[in-house]
């Protein structure tokens, strides 16, 4: 009964983290800004760290099953 919320949270965090990393990679390869009004290095670093954190958090949720 308790595994339902863990599966949902794990799926949500993993999908969001993977999508954020994919989006950041595509933006950087096309030499487009990741975030407007922010330095390109800072924006790329922050989104990469956030995407990795969400991906790891999702994997941690799946590991708790």
pTM of the model: 0.86
Question: Residue 2's pLDDT is what?
Answer: 74
Q: Which residues of the chain have pLDDT under 50?
A: none
Q: Name all contacts of 2-10 with Cβ < 8 Å and 24+ positions apart.
A: 3/65, 6/61, 6/62, 6/64, 6/65, 7/61, 7/62, 7/65, 9/58, 9/61, 10/58, 10/59, 10/60, 10/61, 10/62, 10/65
Domain with 50 in it: 3-63
Question: Residue 25's pLDDT is what?
Answer: 95
Question: Residue 1's pLDDT is what?
Answer: 57
Question: Residue 30's pLDDT is what?
Answer: 95
Average pLDDT of every residue of the chain = 93
Q: How many domains does the chain have?
A: 1
Question: Residue 8's pLDDT is what?
Answer: 94
């Amino acid at each position: 009964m308790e595994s339902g919320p863990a599966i949902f949270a794990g799926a949500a965090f993993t999908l969001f983290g993977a999508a954020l990393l994919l989006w950041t990679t595509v933006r950087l390869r096309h030499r487009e800004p990741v975030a407007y009004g922010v330095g390109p290095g800072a924006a790329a670093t922050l989104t990469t760290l956030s995407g990795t954190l969400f991906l790891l958090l999702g994997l941690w949720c799946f590991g708790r099953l």
